[in-house]
Amino acid sequence: MKCNILTETAFFRAAQNGSLEDMTACYGEFIERVVDVCGCKNGKTTAVATLLFAGIELKAMGKGNRMVEKAVTFIGEMQKVVEQMPASEIAESAKTGLNWTGDIVNLVELMYGLQEMQCLNDGKLPIEELGNRIFPLFGLQPRIYSRIYIDIKQRATKNGNRTYFLSRMRNMLEERIDQDIHISLRRK
């Protein structure tokens, strides 16, 4: 991760141009980016350096801009949080390089499927423990998985099916296998 990642945001460009309207519109996205940096996916040192760099650059724009001052304050508070984080809380995704880019409910559906198939520890691993091990691998904070499972159970059934993600995964894999077989048959 580059230490100037926060200074390459639309919010920062709007701050440089002095456009309060644009800054207000981009502030939420900037805050999300700051929070991502604080997840330490690229290491605690990089997160601290990135926050320091962005804070210094924003402070250099001068006082008087309410949105810049808000951003500087938020960065300062997040710096304190990151600096106090024990090494054990640094995201596992920094080690694995894996980031879950799908919906959280899909990962929970997959976890429950793995548990039902007894693929991990013969199915004897409680779902909370399974989730608390899997979620950090993808840089995610553990959740209360049973609540998400309740949402899955309450889904309206499509063709008698509540497991949208697993069904879609199966269908997409079947399509890929069929395409690969078709391609290999054409080569012969």
Number of domains in the chain: 2
Residue 138: Cβ within 10 Å count? 17
Domain presence at residue 2: no
Percent of the chain with pLDDT over 90: 27
Range with the poorest average pLDDT among 9-13, 119-123, 152-156, 157-161: 157-161
Are residues 177 and 115 located together in one domain of the fold?
Answer: yes
Are residues 24 and 97 located together in one domain of the fold?
Answer: no
Please say which residue of 34, 66, 84 terminates a domain: 84
Q: Is 90 exceeded by the pLDDT of residue 143? A: no
If you average pLDDT over residues 104-130, what whole number do you get?
Answer: 93
Are residues 59 and 36 located together in one domain of the fold?
Answer: yes
Domain presence at residue 1: no
Are residues 14 and 76 located together in one domain of the fold?
Answer: yes
Domain presence at residue 159: yes
Are residues 77 and 121 located together in one domain of the fold?
Answer: no
Domain presence at residue 5: no
For residue 87, the model assigns a pLDDT of: 58
Q: Are 105 and 151 in contact (CB under 8 A)?
A: yes
Are residues 32 and 63 located together in one domain of the fold?
Answer: yes
78 against 129, higher pLDDT: 129
Are residues 80 and 136 located together in one domain of the fold?
Answer: no
One-letter amino acid for residue 118 of the chain: Q
Are residues 182 and 103 located together in one domain of the fold?
Answer: yes
Are residues 171 and 125 located together in one domain of the fold?
Answer: yes
Are residues 80 and 100 located together in one domain of the fold?
Answer: no
pLDDT digits (tens, 9 = 90+) for 9-51: 788 788 887 777 777 877 777 777 777 777 756 667 777 888 8
Q: State the chain's mean pLDDT as an integer.
A: 82
The Cα 23–Cα 32 span in angstroms is 14
Domain presence at residue 33: yes
Give the CA distances from residue 85 to residues 76, 88, 95, 117, 154, in Å, rounded to whole numbers and listed in that order: 15, 8, 17, 36, 37
The Cα 79–Cα 81 span in angstroms is 5
**What pTM does this model have?**
0.52
Q: Which range marks the domain in which residue 119 is found?
A: 93-187
If you average pLDDT over residues 159-187, what whole number do you get?
Answer: 92
Q: Is 70 exceeded by the pLDDT of residue 114? A: yes
pLDDT digits (tens, 9 = 90+) for 48-65: 888 888 888 888 876 677
Please say which residue of 35, 60, 84 terminates a domain: 84
Please say which residue of 32, 60, 84 terminates a domain: 84
Are residues 157 and 120 located together in one domain of the fold?
Answer: yes
pLDDT digits (tens, 9 = 90+) for 74-107: 888 888 887 777 655 555 555 677 888 888 899 9
